[in-house]
Amino acid sequence: MTTDLLWSPPCPGTGMSPNLRLNEIVTDRRRHGLDTLHLGFGEARLPLVPELEEVLAGAAADTAYAPVAGTPAAREAVAGYFRRRRLPTHPAQVVLAPGSKPLLFAVFTALGGDVYLPAPCWNSYAPQVALSGRAPVPVPIGGTYGGLPDPALLERRIGEDLRRGVRPAAVVVNSPDNPTGTSVPREAMRELCRVARDAGLTLVSDEIYRDLHHEGGDRFASPAELAPERTVVCTGLSKSLAIGGWRIGGARFPAGASGAGLRDRTLAVASEVWSALAAPMQAVAAYAFAEPPAITERLRRSARMHGSVSRACHTICRSHGAAARRPTAGFYVYADFEARRRDLARHGVVDSASLAQQLLDRFGIAVLGGHHLGDDPRRLAFKVATTGFVGETPEEQSAALDAADAAGLPHVRRRLRWLDSALAALTAPPTDWTR
């Protein structure tokens, strides 16, 4: 059984993606009868919205290849989705794909230049940029929210790069983000757009968590509103509707000639790599992106549930001395235990890899260490995907969706206590644990 979390590929993109690898480690542990709290995989894991199952069943007989960019109905639905979010969109600006992950890769490939990334960020951006033959350039996030490189640090870094003759092409923004579960305020987004515009960068805005603001409503300023001429937006249904395995993603390209050029180069990659989103999934996309009441109601309940559980997890991490941004959207908490370094060191925990490894080996808790997310490997940080608290069975998951405060449910509380006691044991000062 492989359980080695210290391992990471020698360079981005040369080994299995760490979250998928961790997922397999957890499956393996469970197969060997080891009880495991899986907080290392950003899968929403909720019961299927029944209407989606009906739409899929109705489209199952459609076995033909769909158009590369997507069917007219699906593209119109995605365009409408963006229009309802203050982004005028023609269906010609839309491309659908089997997940936003391949779409992001195709966009990076089509951009053809180095890419600035927030650090920490989702573990696949850097490998994707590297696989597209370009350099991922991490730039630290600021203090109170994640998802974008701190604009002042980015501006300084661009200045240095230009002096060295480097010509970067793009900057990634991910709001609300993985891994801090926060949303970028409008002013900061505006400042980032100014920096990107001054440097001639394209903004790649990954908005896959946009519909999961815990307090509901649309509280987010997309860079596509603030810098429409240079922003590509990627989104998908994996997180908001918990259908990651169905692989439905979409992108919105800027209007105008340069946006059309980037779309066409992205389509060229798509046509050579995945051809098209599967036809039955085009029907699902056409239904879901049109946002009928069954969908908006699910979004509302999911966001409420993720908020309750994420806040509870945040409180636990803070109570053990971690610095962690307060989560307001999505389903992640990013905790940094630097303040407990001396206590952790007594347990052999000296960096994010050994922290994640001890949580798994001693307490059966799987988290993703910050070293996999572009953070300084010495930092005592990890990401919690809070969906792991929600439950394993459809009954547990439905109860969590229905509850006004999911964190108060007995099965959720039991898992929260699991993390709580593990952190207590791992950070216990010597007077406690030598007695």
Ligand X SMILES: Cc1ncc(COP(=O)(O)O)c(C=O)c1O
Chain residues in the site for ligand X (CB under 6 A): 42, 99-101, 122, 174, 178, 206, 208, 236, 238, 244, 249
Nearer to ligand X, 117 or 344 (CB): 117
CB 369 within 8 A of CB 353: yes
d(CA 350, CA 345): 6
d(CA 205, CA 174): 6
Minimum distance of ligand X from residue 323's CB (angstroms): 22
Nearer to ligand X, 120 or 249 (CB): 249
Give all strands (DSSP E) within 214-263, no chain letters: 231-236, 249-252
Minimum distance of ligand X from residue 238's CB (angstroms): 3
d(CA 373, CA 172): 14
Minimum distance of ligand X from residue 164's CB (angstroms): 29
Minimum distance of ligand X from residue 162's CB (angstroms): 28
Nearer to ligand X, 250 or 254 (CB): 250
Minimum distance of ligand X from residue 141's CB (angstroms): 14
d(CA 249, CA 139): 26
Distances in Å between the alpha carbon of 106 and those of 99, 232, 273, 364, 416? 12, 12, 9, 37, 39
Nearer to ligand X, 281 or 407 (CB): 281
Nearer to ligand X, 208 or 295 (CB): 208
- Measured in residues, the chain has a length of 435
Which sign does the torsion angle of CA 294, 46, 249, 384 carry?
positive
Minimum distance of ligand X from residue 23's CB (angstroms): 11
Residue 320: other Cβ atoms inside 10 A = 19
Structure tokens at 199: 């440097």
Nearer to ligand X, 28 or 43 (CB): 43
Element at 422 (helix H, strand E) = helix 410-427
